[in-house]
Structure 1
Amino acid sequence: MAKEGYVVAVCGATGAVGRTMLEVLEQRDFPASKVIALASERSAGKKVPFKGGELTVEVLNEYSFEGVDLALFSAGGSTSKTFAPLAAKAGCVVVDNSSAWRMDPECPLVVPEVNPHDLEWHKGIIANPNCSTIQMMVALKPIHDAAKIKRVVVSTYQAVSGTGQKAIDELAGQVTMMFNGQVEDIEPSAYPHRIAFNCLPHIDIFMDNDYTREEMKMVHETTKIMGDESIKVTATAVRVPVFYGHSESINIETELKLSAKECRALLTQAPGVQVLDNPAEQIYPMPIEAQGQDATYVGRIREDETIANGLNIWVVSDNIRKGAATNTVQIAEKLIEMDLVRVP
């Protein structure tokens, strides 16, 4: 039986995603009787805004989860590896935003619009997918259900906020320096090369197959979320000089024929999707429109004329909200709806 109010802990509450989690909890009127802000010792005592007031940040430790129903983690993979099992052992259900648990066979990897049924087998820890994977899954699920996807070729154009505040500051600083003629003084630190007025086909580390880890996350997470190992995915992930909002160009091959008109109609009815698709009026999704929003925006819907059953779509979403904080909170909402706020 669902309770009237839940004790919720936000771990990593002083970071960009943690702060946004608090905003989303407030904006969605999450049924919390108490919200606890947790972070490392260096952030202890800081104040974070919540519901017109402030929460005092407490130190995250092994005793932080006594009496807590739900813990939303965005404090990095090593922190999640250490504290998520302790939280689950204390009877708290964890929704983790790091990559630590995503491919663990014991942990569901969930996008609520796509595979909420996977929450039924959770054992205390649920993983939030990679930001670029989330928005792609929201857009692809209706297409897969209607025509069965065989292959996906995706190129991402990802905002610097995906790297964190240091990258946001670096882009802003480099733009200022370039406008002031200080190009020679730019020394990149967040990235291996200058990001201002540039594109870097390099997100995360390179693997032995010459793909980056970011690209392989999209490959492996797609099949786990969709529950279909037959879907083939290849990805190229690019960092672009945009502050917020990831964009993706997605080429899809399906088993059954799906016209652009049929695809557009499907996506118009899909949960979490907003279709912006009128090229004649220059209407298509852009990061500046997605910033601060929770929807996944889809446009440039058209048939791939080089194959029998092919589509091209353009997908944009706010990587900090739907790509991280909002999806995490939506998972928590779905756990409540399904009466699964309990550790087996």
Structure 2
Amino acid sequence: MTTPLDIAIVGATGSVGETLVQILEELAFPVATLHLLASMESAGSSVMFAGKKIKVREVDSFDFAQVKLAFFAASPAVSRSFASKAQQAGCTVIDLSGALENALAVVPEANGDSIATLKLPALITSPSCAAVALAVALAPLKGQLGIERVQVMAALAVSAQGREAVSELARQTAELLNARPLEPRFFDRQMAFNLLAQVGPVDEHGHTGVERRLVEELRVLLGLAKLNISVSCIQVPVFFGDSFSVALQCREPVDLAQVNQALEQADSLELVENDDYPTPVGHAVGQDVVYVGRVRRGIDDSQQLNLWLTTDNLRKGAALNAVQVAQLLIKHMV
């Protein structure tokens, strides 16, 4: 029987933080004492866990020596400020911000065995929502297909940018439906009933940080350091649920029967047959798997495989992956 752990969640009042609390309870994770932490502005509120109200405290004054494990679901700046301090206090950190450059990125379905190599206390990254979804889908195909190139169009939900982005999409939608003048606030232009060609600012080469992070993380997760990956991330007027159009260029002609069998047998994947296709609203939201559909070869290239993926970005893409990493981790804790 696993010994219960004292655990902290930094960023407990945010969308991902609240989902972490929910999933820890759903999965009956062995929690002894749960410490909920946030900024000074959010401290003082309460969050329900296991039938009890837990008061949210300021992260600035928290002593991480009180806990063995901490989830960081706050901003990159918070992770940079407190994650190393937590590790020095004897606490293993699972960070969801992408701010920790030397932390090990883990998706259990893709590279879960890497946990066994860690010396505790450790810094671990639960990768970006997009990287988690793609790693879950591509890991079972990696050995079979000999993937040489990956092309991804990622249609990202606004919830990845927090509650303010969700509220902005709702407000814009209401204003347009009621024929009122639209004044963009969170986004720099109309988001409702629109598509934005980039998510975040671009660098001197025209790529966003979200795109570069996805490429780097996917290479690590698949263990293919030189894999050729092309990514375009767009912002879509969807509250929850990321979707991906994926094209794989392979060394040999694609055997669709073998591909479908591998996808059907893989953990955390749900294959939707060719007479249907998955959507965020109809399939993914509230679920704990990555849905795969429209599995097909290229129109004029038998060595190309095309896939459509969708998943709940807050659950499977963020909070659930972090908790699944923690489940692997506690097997190695003394």
Q: Which bracket does the TM-score occupy, shorter chain normalised?
A: over 0.9
Specify which of 96, 110, 118 is matched with residue 114 of structure 2.
118
1:94-173 to 2 correspondences below 5 Å: 94-101=93-100, 104=101, 106-122=102-118, 124-173=122-171
CA distance in structure 2 between the aligned counterparts of 1:181 and 1:95, rounded to whole angstroms: 45
1:249-268 to 2 correspondences below 5 Å: 249-268=245-264
Q: SS state of the match for residue 133, structure 2?
A: helix
TM-score, normalised to structure 2, is 0.95
CA distance in structure 1 between the aligned counterparts of 2:169 and 2:2, rounded to whole angstroms: 45
Deviations 1:19-58 (A, max 9, x none): 0000000011101112111111222221012122211111
Q: CA deviation at 1:62?
A: 5.5
1:11-160 to 2 correspondences below 5 Å: 11-61=10-60, 63-101=62-100, 104=101, 106-122=102-118, 124-160=122-158
Aligned to 2:279: 286
Specify which of 304, 308, 313 is matched with residue 310 of structure 1.
304
Q: CA deviation at 1:235?
A: 0.7
Q: CA deviation at 1:3?
A: 4.3
Specify which of 273, 291, 301 is matched with residue 297 of structure 1.
291
> In the alignment, is the contact (CA less than 8 A) between 2:146 and 2:252 conserved in 1?
yes
1:266-281 to 2 correspondences below 5 Å: 266-279=262-275
- 2:210 counterpart letter in structure 1: E
Shift of the 315–36 alpha-carbon distance from structure 1 to 2, 3 Å rule, reads: same
Q: SS state of the match for residue 104, structure 2?
A: coil
1:177-326 to 2 correspondences below 5 Å: 177-182=175-180, 185-279=181-275, 283-288=276-281, 289-326=283-320
- 1:286 counterpart letter in structure 2: T
Deviations 1:285-312 (A, max 9, x none): 1101211111011010011133241100
Q: SS state of the match for residue 307, structure 2?
A: strand
> In the alignment, is the contact (CA less than 8 A) between 2:254 and 2:302 conserved in 1?
no
Structure 1 unpaired stretches of 5+ = none
Number of aligned pairs?
331
Q: CA deviation at 1:145?
A: 2.0
CA distance in structure 2 between the aligned counterparts of 1:3 and 1:134, rounded to whole angstroms: 26
Deviations 1:214-262 (A, max 9, x none): 1122211111111212311001111111110000000001223332222
TM-score, normalised to structure 1, is 0.93
Q: CA deviation at 1:61?
A: 2.7
CA distance in structure 2 between the aligned counterparts of 1:62 and 1:44, rounded to whole angstroms: 11
Q: State the percentage of identical aligned residues.
A: 35
Structure 2 unpaired stretches of 5+ = none
